[in-house]
Amino acid sequence: MATGDRRLKFWDGRGMGDQMAVWAVQRPGPIDGGPLQRVRRTVPEPGAGEVLVRVEVCGICRTDLHLCEGDLEPRRPGVVPGHQVVGSVVGRGVGAERFAMGDRVGIAWLRGTCGSCEFCRSGAENLCPRSSYTGWDADGGFAEYAVVPQDYAYALPADRPAEELAPFLCAGIIGYRALLRAKLPPGGRLGIYGFGSSAHLTAQLATAQGAELFVMTRGERNRELARSLGAAYVGETADRPPVPLDSAIVFAPAGEVVPYALEAVKPGGTVSVAGIHLTDVPALNYERHLFHERDLRSVTSNTRRDGEELFRLVSRLPVRAHTTVVPFEGIDRALSDVANGRAAGSLVAVLNV
């Protein structure tokens, strides 16, 4: 990595060895059993059209937990999770001219698409059968350095704290797409099931645009956060909201929640399911859950356009990530907090400041 090494030493004045610290999935299993291990790896070299990013912070996502525990089977041995990365460009491969050295960029979940299939040509690149993902197909941001194709990186403002930006790179983008899929009418009533990182950002987007918010979730910390963000009603997951809803989003990775959401929406209402992993949905009763033209829709990844639209909205709306900052050394413990319902809002690991 001679070229990138020289550039980095010149640019930040601190130099870089050939090795870096990473968290890698060694053997998927329950998070408290230690499937994620801290190891040393060679600093990657950016290929053609790629940039090397010195990771400043990386958001911690439930998808990372699914990967560690085997709900998502790793697509390569020893993969490094993490796909909500904020950092600075410190190396560029051949033809990578979109960003200058030192630019702040974001690395998100979607890492690559074929660009030629029917879905890519129609603007639905999130459905590309040859799509690839950060922290699943390729190493992600639970590391001191990460590589990303320049066309799938986001330009980020330099004047906003990195830990505030990181959650928008997955939790925010997926929540935004789930909100679009939910077909919420202007000023409508939105139900949210589960109130973690993605849900609390989506709730703010919706209320900033005039929605009335109804939250059904487990955990008093999550319910307190929902109240602080202006929810008109906050209850347990299985509770029926006091009025019929126009739309609902299921963020909880629990299939048994889906019937509750369908029963809560009024005729013509829509339920979107935001998670990449969901336990089995129980049998539905046609008349009670689907009749009267209720729609049940899934959400699959996101397009780059979703992310660009979201960041434009965030720049002008009062939407803020409620974050808990954890040290890089504590990523495994933070994922345990997510698994055991001890986390509220967004967790962000700090690597380089």
Record the pTM: 0.90
The answer, yes or no, to whether residue 352 has pLDDT greater than 80, is no
Would you mind telling me the total number of residues written for the chain in this entry?
Answer: 353
pLDDT at 343: 85
pLDDT at 219: 86
Across the chain, mean pLDDT equals: 93
Minimal CA–CA distance to 306: which of 141, 53, 123, 132? 123
pLDDT at 8: 40
Q: Which residues contact 179 (CB under 8 A, 6 or more apart)?
A: 190, 202, 205, 206, 249, 272
pLDDT at 96: 97
In 224-353, which ranges are E strands?
233-235, 245-250, 265-273, 295-298, 323-327, 346-350
92 pLDDT band, cuts 50/70/90, is very high
pLDDT at 279: 95
What's the Cα-to-Cα distance from 333 to each of 88, 285, 338, 342, rounded to whole Å?
26, 40, 9, 11
- Taking only Cα atoms into account, the Rg of the chain, rounded to an integer number of angstroms, comes to 20
- Of 82-91, 247-256, 339-348, the poorest mean pLDDT is in 339-348
**What is the per-residue DSSP string for 23-63?**
EEESS-S-GGG--EEEEEEEPP---TTEEEEEEEEEEE-HH
Are 201 and 323 in contact by the 8 Å Cβ rule? The answer is no
pLDDT at 5: 40
Rounded percentage of the chain residues whose pLDDT exceeds 70: 95
